Structure 1
Amino acid sequence: MSQPLIQVKVHQNLGTISIHRDEKRNALTRAMVFDLIQAFRDLHGERKVRAVVLTGGGSAFCSGLCLEEMNEIAQEDDNFDRWHQDTSSLAELIHLMLLFPKPIISAVNGPAMGFGAGLVLASDIAIAGPDAALGFPEPKRGIVSGLCTPLLHFRTGGRHAARLLLTGETISAERAVQIGAYDEIVPTNNLWAYAAELTKHIAEAAPQAIQLTKKHLNETVGEQLEMLISLGAAASATSRTTDAAKEGLAAFVEKRDPEWR
């Protein structure tokens, strides 16, 4: 029997959600997005869980969304409703993480790209291994990274967000720490243990105080974040209906350079 692609475990006061699609560098299918939403809902009700660690299996954290699956949708006629449904699900996942009553710690064991980087930015704490590169390559596929844009601006500021989103470049873990996308670098084999140690500190505080603190942070520092993510979802859905997206996704699947018009 095959293992689930999204695995949930509880160890003492720490819940772990891990992504296991190693052969595709943990790229998320539509079904996996729904499973991630359900995983967070399940841990929401676990009273003994004081924090949640989100991590990846294998050598990657998450390479983003499954471009092969997206390419299949892009070849369909009248696909706007499907794109709208997909981006709405992604926005739901981000909102769920931001409103989650317990701290979420991303243990970034390897590259976090596209929406995978968005998951890191939606977390409250981000610890990364030395090989945890970060980037937003969507424009190279003819797509707008609308859902990640407000999160990246929220965590790193406008100047860093503009460079990453407009160049599509991939930066090192060290650079990601410098701009505030990650908090610190930890040896990869120590990531979970370090997350468990952080959870011990969190567990020393009252759960209600932690929940209110997180709510206060996201409502004051990120005052317009919820609205901007919804707008970003609409922008992302629209970009996926364009000829540029159709060409960019096809080029990825066919392993060639896109021909922009």
Structure 2
Amino acid sequence: MTGPSITVERDGPLTIITLARPEAHNALHAAAHEELAAAFDAFAADPDQWVAIITGAGEKAFCAGHDLKQQASGGGMATPPSGFAGLTARFDLAKPVIAAVNGVAMGGGFEIALACDIIVAQSRAVFALPEPRVGLAALAGGMQRLPRAIGLKQAMGMMLTGRRVAAEEGMRLGFVNAVTDGDVLALARQWAADILACSPMAVRATKDAVLRGLDTPAEQAMAEQWSYPALEAMLLSHDAAEGPAAFAEKRAPMWKGC
């Protein structure tokens, strides 16, 4: 699957989505948003796809955010109902998504990464929410997700100044999981492989319960988790029986994702 602005590759149960506008630092215009929304719709709906990676083409940019040239020419700022890049408002996606940040992640580009479950970065990557510098605000989840990821004061320090944060500092602050001097997509594939070694049903139940419980007292969240759809599906799944059986028989489990 390809489009003018993105490419989509499937490698077994792994989907790799690449922003393919390197000449524009992978900034997103209206058509790119729609292509990405369709790609994530397909990933979410396909029972054979268990993990996704999103990355950018070229060595300079992961995503420079919204295409301001399009906006300046009257193109507007409309995004799909599922949010910036078809991802930032997709709150019902229980499957894990990894951001492989290969370069600059500015504004909406940083918000794409923050909407992912894991962020791995090339050492040259730079992150910022610089919207106030151009008279705007980070309206695709940045103002909500960054404080949850690194705490209020550190997030305010970034957001109120629009300052740029290098990959290593991002890891120290806590929003980056790992940094490499080499191929960031290869690193993301390693993380994906570790996730794929687990039951996809258990992975989805874990993500769903964690995100639902973030703003809920622990006692309440622990009581309510039994009614979460992903956890109910895990408990009734083939995988829930296969895991203990494989352990007892000293063999690798054969996950079915159902």
Q: 2:163 aligns with which of 142, 161, 169?
A: 169
Q: CA deviation at 1:55?
A: 0.2
Structure 2 match to 1:218? 211
Determine if contact 2:87/2:115 at 8 Å carries over to the other structure.
no
CA–CA distance in structure 1, aligned partners of residues 159 and 83 of structure 2: 18
Q: CA deviation at 1:131?
A: 0.6
- Is 1:153 the equivalent of 2:153? no
Structure 1 match to 2:250? none
CA–CA distance in structure 1, aligned partners of residues 215 and 179 of structure 2: 25
Structure 2 match to 1:69? 70
Question: What residue identity is the alignment partner of 1:65?
Answer: H
Q: What is the SS of the residue equivalent to 1:18?
A: strand
Structure 2 match to 1:140? 133
Q: CA deviation at 1:139?
A: 0.6
The runs of 5 or more residues in structure 2 that have no matched partner are 217-258
Question: What residue identity is the alignment partner of 2:160?
Answer: L
- Is 1:110 the equivalent of 2:103? yes
Q: CA deviation at 1:3?
A: 6.1
Could you report, residue by residue, the CA deviation over 1:62-120 in whole angstroms, capped at 9, with x for unpaired residues?
A: 0110001111238xxxxxxx65x448553663122x43221101000111000100011
Q: CA deviation at 1:196?
A: 2.0
- Is 1:39 the equivalent of 2:39? yes
CA–CA distance in structure 2, aligned partners of residues 87 and 165 of structure 1: 24
Structure 1 pair 194–133 and aligned structure 2 pair: CA distance change class (3 A):
same
Structure 2 match to 1:209? 202
CA–CA distance in structure 2, aligned partners of residues 89 and 46 of structure 1: 17
Q: CA deviation at 1:162?
A: 0.5
Structure 1 pair 219–208 and aligned structure 2 pair: CA distance change class (3 A):
same
CA–CA distance in structure 1, aligned partners of residues 72 and 112 of structure 2: 22
Determine if contact 2:132/2:160 at 8 Å carries over to the other structure.
yes
Q: What is the SS of the residue equivalent to 2:15?
A: strand
Determine if contact 1:13/1:199 at 8 Å carries over to the other structure.
no
Could you report, residue by residue, the CA deviation over 1:140-172 in whole angstroms, capped at 9, with x for unpaired residues?
A: 110011321101112111111111111011111
- Quick check: 174-183 or 44-53, which moved more? 44-53
| Aligned residue-pair number | 212
CA–CA distance in structure 2, aligned partners of residues 87 and 160 of structure 1: 30
CA–CA distance in structure 2, aligned partners of residues 45 and 121 of structure 1: 22
Question: How well do the aligned residues superpose, as a CA RMSD in angstroms?
Answer: 2.0
Structure 1 pair 222–62 and aligned structure 2 pair: CA distance change class (3 A):
farther
Percent identity, aligned pairs only? 29
- Is 1:129 the equivalent of 2:122? yes
Determine if contact 1:109/1:188 at 8 Å carries over to the other structure.
no
Q: What is the SS of the residue equivalent to 1:134?
A: strand
The runs of 5 or more residues in structure 1 that have no matched partner are 75-81, 224-261
Question: Rg: which structure is higher?
Answer: 2
The alignment's TM-score, normalised by the length of structure 2, stands at 0.76
- Is 1:195 the equivalent of 2:185? no
The structure 1 segments of at least 4 consecutive aligned residues displaced by more than 4 Å after TM superposition are none
Question: What residue identity is the alignment partner of 1:134?
Answer: F
Q: RCO (CA 8 Å, sep 6+): is it higher in 1 or 2? A: 1
CA–CA distance in structure 2, aligned partners of residues 179 and 118 of structure 1: 16
The alignment's TM-score, normalised by the length of structure 1, stands at 0.75
CA–CA distance in structure 1, aligned partners of residues 187 and 13 of structure 2: 14
